[in-house]
Each structure stands twice: as structure tokens, then as C-alpha cells.
């Protein structure tokens, strides 16, 4: 009965990419842990860039400073 | 001090239904665990259909294939 | 396809109380949103008292100061 | 490798306030636990007022009844 | 900067299986969304059987009633 | 009414450090967003090293490979 929550920045993830993530994570749980896909739920959260921080900075700012 | 997070697909949940969920979950925690409602928080997340997967498929696709 | 996460302090919640919470939340989602119980998942997290804070204090400390 | 999720009601939190939260939480984890800021992630979720409940009521209703 | 939370029932998941889940989810995010693995975090939560409900029942009870 | 979830690796975080995190996060939300501390909840999750991955590897493995 797995539940998987995937959080990514909101940057134009397409419906096809979301379907690929759902299929891929479910297949992984079936393969590694022999889980039943029918009770495997995947929820994707898309997070606005202003709302994600890393290195103490909002993501956009953080990226600018990377070499 | 309970915190409850309810995740449902975004399919026209009304303000009244949300208030019913909040009231119902809080009453349940008061009844079963004698929690103080004043410190009981309920957060409802509505998830776009494309972002929820079950059975390895986005929900809309999954439902179509159900008998 | 709801997913519900219930977080409570770890203070001797019994197996029977957990089963009541699971049954109660699921019944609520069936009644209010007409959800299918077979795809409704409930996960209970029990949190050590030292790990839960309210009012800027760990719960045990917070409770002592309540009138 | 901390991950911090901050959930607040959606009430006009500005980009500057979000940056302050991100900077402040990261600095706290560096100071208290000596964590590496480069692997410290902060995600802010803004929750619609209708979707947050406390005291068994939606937040707006709850606030009206406070003395 | 993805963050992935995998919740499974606590039923003897081995260290090797956990490493496979971490590697597999990260590879999926790199392949589908071109994410940087160095900022991709995966957190696995193992949930006691009594604390996971589906179909309104604790998991162990639910499984017994499956045909 | 904020709710904050802090996830860190389980590596001997002391009760005093937890209290500092709770106090610090609460003070930050009061200062930046003028939140009421009495309705500000902080939950700390300590995650076993085997259960946290970054860079596609369990944390312990990831750290060994850092220069």
C-alpha cells in the first residue's frame, strides 16, 4: 500500500511527464517491494519557484549563484 | 495537538463539504482520543487529476479502465 | 482516491483507537464526498512529545504552562 | 540534509517574506544542528482559508468567534 | 530540486531495497525531468501495520478479507 | 495558523536542540508573518540514515563520496 509524494518546482511539467513519473514510480515499487499497483498512489506537488528554497535562498536566486 | 492532512482530487469540492470534513475529523479526534479541538488543525489539499496516480496511471485514465 | 495523514502525539494510542480513527475518517469521506473506501488510505503518525512544539515550546512544557 | 515544509494560510505572503522564511529556517538549522545549507531544502505551502480548519471550523469562521 | 517521500508498510524492507528505491526514484527524475541528482532527496517512511488503513480497516484486517 | 514539519536525519538530536528548533521556527513565523504562536505547530521527524537518499545514494554512502 505505498503512497508516494513527489515535490518538484513548477516549471512546465507536462501531462506526459507526469504520467511517466506515475508509471515509473509504481513500476519501481512493484519490482523492488512486490507491491500491488492497484493500491499504490502517487501524488505530484508542483511548487512555485518563490516557495522553494535551497542554500538559504529561493531557488531562482540559488541557481543564479551556481558556478 | 493533532494535525490532519486530507488529500483529495480537485473535483469541485464545495466550501460546505470542506467545512463538513473539518468538523467531522475534529469531532472524531475529540471522541476517540479526547483531543482539544482548539489545537486540532485540519488541512485539505486538492490535487489536480493529472497529478494523482493509482495503478500506475493518472486517475482519469485509471477510472476509464475500471469495469 | 483520498489519502489522509493523521499526526498525533505518541501517548499510548491503542490499536482499537487507531482502528476507530481509520474507520471514522473513511466513513466521513464516503459520506461527504462519496469516495470509494477501497481507494481511501489513512496513515497515522505518532510523534514523540519532544518532537512536537506549540506556542514555541515542546508540548510537555506548553501543557505545564496552561492555566 | 534537512527538509522543511512550512504550511501557512494563503493571505498575501510576499516574495520578500518567503525569502526571509527560507533564509531564517536555513540559518536556524545551520546554527542548531550544524547542517549544510547547500543540502537544506525549504518548501512553503500556502493553503486557501477554506481548506484550513481549527477548532472544528474553517479558519475564517474560527477567527470570527475568537473574543 | 525534487523531494520525494515514499510511505510503505513496515514489513522488513531491507537496506538493499531502500538503496534500490533511492537509486530508482532519482534516476527516474533525472530521466523524465532532467533534475540534478545532487539536489534530489528521497525520504522513506515505514509505517506500522496498525497505523495504515485502507477500505476503512487496518491493513492486516483489510488483507484478510480480500478474496 | 502555521504548521511546520522539519525532517532531519536521526543522528543524536538532543531534547535541547529540538526545543531550540521549535522556539526558533516559531519566533521566525511571529516576526516575519505576525503569526500567533499559540496556533503555530512544529513537528520534527527524525529519519534513519538508511531511509534518506540524496544524489541517488543513501546518505551515509553519499557522504563517503564527497570530496
Cell numbers given for F30: 511571529
Residues E30-50: what's their mean pLDDT?
A: 97
Q: Residues D15-45: pLDDT tens digits?
A: 999 999 999 999 999 999 999 999 999 999 9
Domains of chain C: 3-64 (3.30.429.10)
Give the three-class secondary structure for C54: strand
Q: pLDDT-derived band of residue F27, with 50, 70 and 90 as boundaries?
A: very high
C-alpha span between E36 and D39 (Å, rounded):
12
Q: How far apart are CA A23 and CA B25, in angstroms?
A: 32
pLDDT for B2 equals 96
- DSSP letter string, B27-47: HHHHHHH---GGG-EEEEEEE
* Residue A1 contacts residue E52 (beta carbons within 8 Å): yes
Percent of chain B with pLDDT over 70: 100
* DSSP-assigned beta bridge partners for residue D53: B42, D58
Task: Report residue F54's pLDDT band, with 50, 70 and 90 as the boundaries.
Answer: very high
Mean pLDDT of B29-51: 97
At residue F48 the predicted structure's pLDDT band, cuts being 50, 70 and 90, is very high
- Res. F9: pLDDT tops 80: yes
d(CA D38, CA D43): 14
Q: If you search the block for the grid coordinates 475568537, which residue do you land on?
A: D66
Residue among E13, E5, E11, E15 nearest E44 (CA):
E5
CB contact under 8 A, B39 and C54: yes
Whole-number pLDDT of residue F1: 79
**The three three-digit cell numbers of residue B7, written as one number:** 488529500
Q: Is A52 on the interface with D (CB under 8 A)?
A: yes
How many CB atoms neighbour CB F28 within 10 A? 22
So what's the pLDDT on residue B25?
98
Q: Record the cell numbers describing residue E20, joined without a space.
A: 534500490
**Cβ D54–B43 below 8 Å, yes or no?**
no
Q: How confident is the model at residue E12 (pLDDT cuts 50, 70, 90)?
A: very high
CB contacts of D37 in chain A (<8 Å) are: 55-56
Query: Looking at residues F13-22, what average pLDDT do you find?
Result: 98
**What is the DSSP code (8-state) at residue D60?**
H
Residue-wise pLDDT for C28-43, tens only, equals 999 999 999 999 999 9
pLDDT at residue E59 tops 80: yes
F57 DSSP β-pair partners: F54
User: Is E48 in contact with E15 (CB distance < 8 Å)?
Assistant: no
Q: Which residues of chain A have pLDDT under 70?
A: none
F3 vs B: CB within 8 A: yes
**Helices (H), ranges, F1-67:** 15-33, 59-64
* pLDDT of amino acid B19: 98
Residue A18's pLDDT is what?
98
Can you give the pLDDT at residue E1? 79
C-alpha separations of D47 from B1, B13, D13, F3 in Å: 19, 15, 11, 11
At residue A66, the pLDDT reads 84
Q: Is B47 on the interface with A (CB under 8 A)?
A: yes
Q: pLDDT class for F49, splitting at 50, 70, 90?
A: very high
Mean pLDDT, range B22-39, rounded to an integer: 97
Give the contacts of F29 (CB within 8 A, at least 6 positions apart). Answer: D6, D8, D21, F2, F4, F35, F37, F40
Grid coordinates given for F28: 521566525
Is the Cβ pair D61, B19 closer than 8 Å?
A: yes
Q: What is the dihedral of CA C9, C14, C15, C17, to 10 degrees?
A: -80
Smallest CA-to-CA distance from E29 within A25, D3, B54, F61 is with A25
Rounded to an integer, the average pLDDT of E15-35 is 98
E22–F53 C-beta distance less than 8 A: yes
Percent residues over pLDDT 70 in chain F: 100
> In chain C, which stretches have pLDDT less than 50?
none
E3 in contact with D, Cβ within 8 Å: yes
Amino acid at each position: 500500500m505505498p503512497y508516494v509524494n513527489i515535490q518538484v518546482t513548477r516549471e512546465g511539467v507536462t501531462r506526459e511527464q507526469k504520467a511517466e513519473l506515475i508509471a515509473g514510480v509504481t513500476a519501481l515499487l512493484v519490482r523492488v517491494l512486490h507491491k500491488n499497483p492497484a493500491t499504490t498512489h502517487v501524488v505530484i506537488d508542483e511548487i512555485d519557484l518563490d516557495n522553494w528554497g535551497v542554500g538559504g535562498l529561493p531557488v531562482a536566486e540559488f541557481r543564479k549563484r551556481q558556478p
